[in-house]
Structure 1
Amino acid sequence: MKTKEWHVLAAVIAAGLMSFSGVLIETSMNVTFPHLMQEFNTNASGIQWVTTGYLLAIAVVVPVTAFLLKNYSVKKLFILANLLFLAGVMLDSWAPTLTILLTGRIFQGIGTGIALPLMFHIILTKSPMNKRGVMMGIGTMTTSIAPAIGPTYGGILLSSLGWRSIFWFLIPLILLALVMGLMSIPDEHVTRTERFSWGAFLTLTVGLSTLLIAVEQLSWQYFGLSLIFLVGFYYCNKRRQMLNLAVFRNKTFDELTYSFLVYQAMLLGLSFVLPNYLQLGLHVTSTQAGLFMFPGAVLGAVLAPISGRLLDKIGAVKPILGGITLSTTGLVLMSVFFPVMSFWTLLLAHMLLMTGTGLAYSNIMTVTLGTLPPEQSADGNSILNTMQQFVGASATAIVAQIFSRTVTTHSNGTGTMLGSQYGVWLLTALMLGSVVCFWFVKRQLQTKA
C-alpha cells in the first residue's frame, strides 16, 4: 500500500478522519435541536439550518474539487481543508448566538467539502485495483458510521457537558488527522493548466442555494429562480468547463447514482427523525436517544470493509442486492408498524436497516465510480459527492418540514408520531424505487464481471 512516497492507508485514514468529524458533528447536532430551539428561540424549520447550511456549504464546494485536484497538489488541499475545518470547530466551541454557530458550520462545510472527495480521489488513484473494494469500504466506513454514532456522541455530551463540548472533543482528532496527513501525503508538483470558471461556480452556488430554499419552504418562486441559475450554470460550464457533465451520458452511472443517493437521504433523514421522535414522542433522554443509534453504527462500521472485500472476491451484485433487500425490509417494518413500535422494536428495525447499509452503501459508490473511464474519474467523484451532500441537505430539510408542520397541526404527542411516520414513509418509497432501479442494472454488472 505504498506508492513511491505515498502511504495510502494512512493518507486515506487522515482524510477519512476529517470526513468522519464533519459527518459526526452534522448528526450529533440533531440530538441537540430541542435544546437549541429553546436556547435560540426558534422552531424546527429554523434550527435545521445548523445541518442544512453545513450540507449546502459542502455541496457548493465539492464541485470545485475536480478543478482543484487537477491544478493543486493533494497535500496543499489537505492542509487547506484541515485548517478551515479546525477554524470552524473552534468558532462553534464557544458560539453565543445562532449566527456565529452557523458561520462556524459553513467553515466546517468548506473543509469537509474539500476533504471528502479528496479521500475518494486518493483511493481511486493510489490504491491497487485488487484492494479498491476494501479501501472504499474503509473510506466509506468513516462517513457511513458517523451518522449513526453522531446522536450517541451528541446525546452523551449534551446531557453531561453541554452542546458546545461536541466541538471541543473534535479538536484533538482534527490535529491528529493533520499530523497523519503531513506524514503520509507527499508534496507532489502539480502544474496549473486551467483557469477557474467563476461564472459556472457562482451560478451553481446560487442555483443550489435557491433550490434548497425552495425545497425547505416549498416555494415555487425560489424553484423558478433556481432553475434560471442552473440553466446559467449549464451554459457557463459549457463555455469554460468546471465539471464534465458528460458522465451523465453513462446510463449505468445514472441508475447506480440514484441508489447511492437514496442511501444518503435515508441515513440523513433518519438521523433527524429518530432522535427527535424518541425525545419528543417516547420521552426518552437525549443520552438514550443517542445510544439508540449506536448498535446500528457498529454493524454498519464492521460490515463496510467486509462488504468491500466481498466485492473484490465475488463481485458487486450479491452484497449490494442483499444489502438493499435488508435495508428495505427494515424501512418497511418501520413505516407499517411505527405507531405501535416501542423503543426496542424500533431499535431492532434500525439494526436490520443498518446491516443492509453496511453491505450495500460503500459498494454502490465503488461500482458507480467504476463505471466511468479514468479521465472522468475526478469529475464523477466531484459530481457524486456534490449530489450526495445536496440530497442529504434536502432530505433533512424535507423531513424537518414534514415534522414541524405535522406537530403544528396536531396535538404534540400525535403530531410528533405522525410527522415521524410520514418522514419514514417518504424514505421507504425512495428505497423501494432504489430496489427497482438496481434490479434493472444488476444484469449489466454481472455481464461486466
Structure 2
Amino acid sequence: MPTSKSISGFQRRADLRFFLSIIAAGLLSFTGVVIETAMNITFPTLMQEFAISTSTVQWITTGYLLILAIVIPTSSYLKQRFAMKRLFLAANLLFLTGTLLDATSASFAQLLLGRLLQGAGTGIALPLMFLIVMEQAPLDKMGLMMGAAMLVCALAPAVGPSVGGYIVSTFGWRMIFIALLPVLLFSLAAGTYAIRQSSDYGPRPFDSRGLILLGAAFTAFLLLTSYLHDLLSEPLLLALLLLLTVFSLLLFVRQEKHLLQRGAHPLLNITILRHRAFTLSAMGLLCFQFVCLGIGFLLPNFSQIVQGETAFTAGCILLPGCIVGAMFAPVSGRIYDSLGARKPLLTGSALLLLSLLLFQFAIPEVGTLGLTAIYVLFAMGQGLSVGNILTYGLSALPKAIRADGNAFCNTVQQLAGAVGTSIPAAIVAACQQSAPSLAPATSLGTSRAFLLLLFVGLLQALCMSVALRRASAPHHSGNEY
C-alpha cells in the first residue's frame, strides 16, 4: 500500500506557476459550462438529425449534470487521496476524451457518452480550481483570487448560448467541440507544468457504498422525471423506479449515519439538515437552480421551434441576462455585507417571481426582444440571490460543519439543475406527442412548463421568507466559507 506524502514548508506565492495553475483548472471548468449552455441551443437540430424526442435529447444536459452530482461529493476524498497534478491530468484527459467522442459522434449514444465523460472531468476540475486558490493564494490576495475564480464560472453561461448558436448556424454543432480542442490542449500543457502540491495526501477510507447508493437514487429519480409521461402507461416500471429511488435514499441515509456514529468520514454529512435555516436556504437555492436550468432549456427551443428563429438568435436571448449575472458575481457579496441578508434575498425572490409571471403571459405573444428583456430581470434576481443564499445558509451552521454544508449544496444543486431540465422537457415532450403539429404543441408545452416554474418560484420565495425569520446571521461574504 502506498504511504502518505507529507508536504511541509509550502509557501503561498502569486508567481507564474500559480496563475498558470488557476488558468489550467479554470479553463476546464469554463469549458464545461460553455458546452453545457451551448448544447441547449442544439436540441432542435439534434432531434432532427438523430430522430429522437425532446425527452431523450435533454439527457445531453441532464446526464452531464447527473455525473457532476455524483462526482462532486468525492472531491474531499480525492483531494486527500491523490496529488493535485494527478487529479488535474485525470480531469483533463476525461474531458478531452469526451470532447473527441462528441466531435466525431455518429450516433446519439456516442454523443451522450462523451457528455458523461465531460461531466466526470468537470466534477473533478471545478473543486480543484477553488482548492488551488484556497491553499496556494497569498492570504492578502485571497478575496481577489476567489472572486476571479467565481467570475470564470459566471462568464461561461454568457459565452455558451450565443457562441454555440453562432457555431451551430454557421458550421454545425460538431464544431462546438472541435473549436474547444486547442483550449483543452493548452490547459493540459499548462497544468502539467504548473500545478504544485500544497497539502498532504495518501491512502484514505472511501465511502464507496454511499456513492453507489447515491448514484442509484439520482439516476432512478431522473429516469422517473424524464419519462414520466411514457411511464404512466407502464405502472410496473414506474413503481420500480419510484421504489428504487426511495429505497436507495433510505439506505444512503442509514449508511451515512452509521459512518458518523463510528467517527468515519461519510460522503455527505446529512446532520447539517437538522439546522432549519440552512435547510430552508438550501431548498431556496435548489429552487433557483431548477428554474435557471428550466428557462435555459425552454427559451432557446421555443425560439427555434415556435418562433422560427436561428440557433444564433435563440442563443442571444440569454446573452444580456448572462452578462448581467456575471457582473453581479464579484459584487453580490458586497451587497450582502452592506445591506444584510433580508433586502438582497427578498428582492432577488421578488424579481424571480416577477420574471416568471411575465414569462407566463409572454408565451407565446412576445417576440425575441421581449423574452430577452424578461430574462434580464430573472438574471438580476439570480445575481442577488444565489451566492448570498449560500452565504446566509452556511452562516446558520457551526463553523466545524460549514464545509459539509457547502459540499451538500454543491451536490444537490447539480441534481436540481438536472431535474430542472428533465421535467420541463418531459412536459414539452408530452404535449408534442399528443398533437400532430410540432410548433403549436411546443408552445403549449412551454406555457405549461413555465407554470410549473412559477410554482417552484413561489416555493423558493416561501423558503427564503421563513428562513429569514431566524436571528440575523453574521454579514460575511462568501469568501469566508
Tell whether the structures are fold-level matches, with TM greater than 0.5.
Answer: yes
* Distance apart, 1:322 and its partner CA: 2.6
Matched, 1:226 2:245: yes
Matched, 1:446 2:472: yes
Residue of structure 1 equivalent to 2:411: 386
Do the aligned partners of 1:137 and 1:308 also contact (CA within 8 Å) in 2? Answer: no
Do the aligned partners of 1:330 and 1:352 also contact (CA within 8 Å) in 2? Answer: yes
Residue of structure 1 equivalent to 2:99: 89
AA aligned opposite 2:362: F
Do the aligned partners of 2:135 and 2:198 also contact (CA within 8 Å) in 1? Answer: no
Do the aligned partners of 2:154 and 2:326 also contact (CA within 8 Å) in 1? Answer: yes
Aligned positions of 1:153-302 closer than 5 A: 153-178=163-188, 181=191, 185-192=195-202, 194-218=204-228, 219-240=238-259, 241-302=266-327
Do the aligned partners of 2:292 and 2:420 also contact (CA within 8 Å) in 1? Answer: no
Do the aligned partners of 1:121 and 1:378 also contact (CA within 8 Å) in 2? Answer: no
Do the aligned partners of 1:132 and 1:312 also contact (CA within 8 Å) in 2? Answer: no
Identity over aligned pairs, percent: 37
Unaligned runs of 5+ in 1: none
Matched, 1:419 2:434: no
**Separation in structure 2 between the aligned mates of residue 317 and residue 13 of structure 1, nearest angstrom:** 35
AA aligned opposite 2:12: K
Residue of structure 1 equivalent to 2:6: none
Distance 1:52 1:295, change over 3 A: same
* Distance apart, 1:14 and its partner CA: 4.3
TM-score, structure 1 length as denominator?
0.90
Aligned positions of 1:327-338 closer than 5 A: 327-338=352-363
Do the aligned partners of 2:13 and 2:136 also contact (CA within 8 Å) in 1? Answer: no
* Distance apart, 1:177 and its partner CA: 3.9
Q: Aligned-residue CA RMSD in angstroms?
A: 2.7
Distance 1:421 1:11, change over 3 A: farther
Distance 1:397 1:131, change over 3 A: farther
Do the aligned partners of 1:134 and 1:305 also contact (CA within 8 Å) in 2? Answer: no
Task: Give the counterpart of 1:46 among 31, 53, 56.
Answer: 56
**Separation in structure 1 between the aligned mates of residue 275 and residue 145 of structure 2, nearest angstrom:** 24
TM-score, structure 2 length as denominator?
0.85
AA aligned opposite 2:456: L
* Distance apart, 1:176 and its partner CA: 4.1
AA aligned opposite 1:200: G
AA aligned opposite 1:41: A
* Distance apart, 1:441 and its partner CA: 2.3
Matched, 1:56 2:56: no
AA aligned opposite 1:340: E
Residue of structure 1 equivalent to 2:455: 429
Residue of structure 2 equivalent to 1:4: 12
**Separation in structure 1 between the aligned mates of residue 227 and residue 458 of structure 2, nearest angstrom:** 26
Unaligned runs of 5+ in 2: 1-9, 229-237, 260-265, 476-481
* Distance apart, 1:424 and its partner CA: 1.4
Q: Which has the larger radius of gyration?
A: 2
Number of aligned residue pairs: 448
Distance 1:183 1:298, change over 3 A: farther
- Per-residue CA shift, 1:390-432, capped at 9, x if unaligned? 1111111101100111122234332111111111121122122
Distance 1:328 1:372, change over 3 A: same
Task: Give the counterpart of 1:67 among 69, 77, 82.
Answer: 77
Do the aligned partners of 1:72 and 1:191 also contact (CA within 8 Å) in 2? Answer: yes
Distance 1:249 1:123, change over 3 A: farther
Do the aligned partners of 2:362 and 2:371 also contact (CA within 8 Å) in 1? Answer: no
Do the aligned partners of 2:55 and 2:426 also contact (CA within 8 Å) in 1? Answer: yes
Residue of structure 1 equivalent to 2:86: 76
**Separation in structure 1 between the aligned mates of residue 287 and residue 147 of structure 2, nearest angstrom:** 18
